[in-house]
Structure 1
Amino acid sequence: MLTSISITSLYVLDQDQALDFYVGKLGFEVQTDQQFGPMRFLTVALPSDPGHAVLLERPAPPSVGPEVADQVRELVTKGAGGGHLFLTTDDAHKTHAELKEKGVDLPEEPVVQPYGIDFGLRDPFGNSVRVAQMTPPPA
């Protein structure tokens, strides 16, 4: 039976720029960075959750054929690549302030939701990132 998700994939157009954003600004750590056949296999993970990595993948073979890669790159450029991360924090207001201080473009302020406090942003490639401080479920 399945037991966990180990890797989630996001399409990025420039893996070094993705490293600067995910590691330099959001606080992820590099887990794997190696040439794997025709691709650079680059994964990052949060230090508090090393069992769930994010593959920062260029839209190119072997994930998509050469004829589709151009179409995927165009969609990613428009923010329609389908990538989405939902991250949690202990303090949404503090995390928002820290990210703002690091130069992250934050179009939303933290907002109270039925499930907690959250805000959204996009990575440099248009992938959606939401950060939430979850409200504990009622006892």
Structure 2
Amino acid sequence: MKIYVTSVFVDDQQKALEFYTEKLGFETKHDIPLGESRWLTVVSKEDENSIELLLEPSSHPAVPPFKKALAADGIPAASFSVEDLEKEHQRLQDLGVTFVQAPTSFGEVKLAVFDDTCGNLIQLVQLA
């Protein structure tokens, strides 16, 4: 058994697609119309056969309060690994991405957290 897809709830799928591809550098894997929404996934350009990230619409009534509570408590909706956190932090800042936590070391791990503009906090992780 392996993980095939995981998701983040987004307020606007098109806005999320633009952020996740143009700012973060992912590429579209699937974009399938499903009525008012889409089965919209992105993957890492570094491994196109990796786990897909579903940009899931936030339309279910339970989702907005859930997302708001996570963000208010500073809890990331997802974590992405990077090779060089300082370099990636600078690259994303140069693209206008807003960080709510600058790169910080926690022993063997460095973390930073940014706002994905779609209602989520996303954590970047560099392992030693």
CA RMSD of aligned residues (A): 2.1
- Structure 2 counterpart of 1:104, one-letter code: V
Of residues 92, 95, 103 in structure 2, which corresponds to 1:102?
Answer: 95
The total of aligned residue pairs comes to 124
Tell me the residue number matched to 2:109. 116
Describe the SS at the equivalent of 2:25: coil
In structure 2, stretches of 5+ residues that fail to align are none
Whether contact under 8 Å (2:102, 2:112) holds in the other structure is yes
Describe the SS at the equivalent of 2:32: strand
How far is 1:83 from its partner?
A: 6.6
Residue deviations 1:11-40 (CA, integer Å, cap 9, x gap): 111011101211111111000011135631
Written as runs of structure 1 = structure 2, the 5 A alignment for 1:45-84 is: 45-50=43-48, 51-60=50-59, 69-76=60-67, 78=68, 80=70, 84=77
Whether contact under 8 Å (1:11, 1:83) holds in the other structure is no
Residue deviations 1:76-133 (CA, integer Å, cap 9, x gap): 3x25388721111111100000000000001222111122222111211332211111
Describe the SS at the equivalent of 1:108: strand
How far is 1:59 from its partner?
A: 3.0
Tell me the residue number matched to 1:31. 29
- Structure 1 counterpart of 2:110, one-letter code: I
Which runs of structure 1 show a deviation greater than 6 angstroms over 4 or more consecutive aligned residues?
A: none
Q: Which has the higher strand share?
A: 2
Tell me the residue number matched to 2:78. 85
Identity score, percent? 31
TM score, norm. by length of structure 1: 0.78
Tell me the residue number matched to 1:40. 38
Larger radius of gyration: 1
Residue deviations 1:30-68 (CA, integer Å, cap 9, x gap): 0001113563110001112322111101134xxxxxxxx
Describe the SS at the equivalent of 1:109: strand
In structure 1, stretches of 5+ residues that fail to align are 61-68
TM score, norm. by length of structure 2: 0.84
Higher relative contact order, chain-length normalized (CA < 8 Å, sep 6+): 2
Whether contact under 8 Å (2:76, 2:113) holds in the other structure is no
Q: Whole-Å Cα distance in 1 between the matches of residues 24 and 7 of structure 2?
A: 17
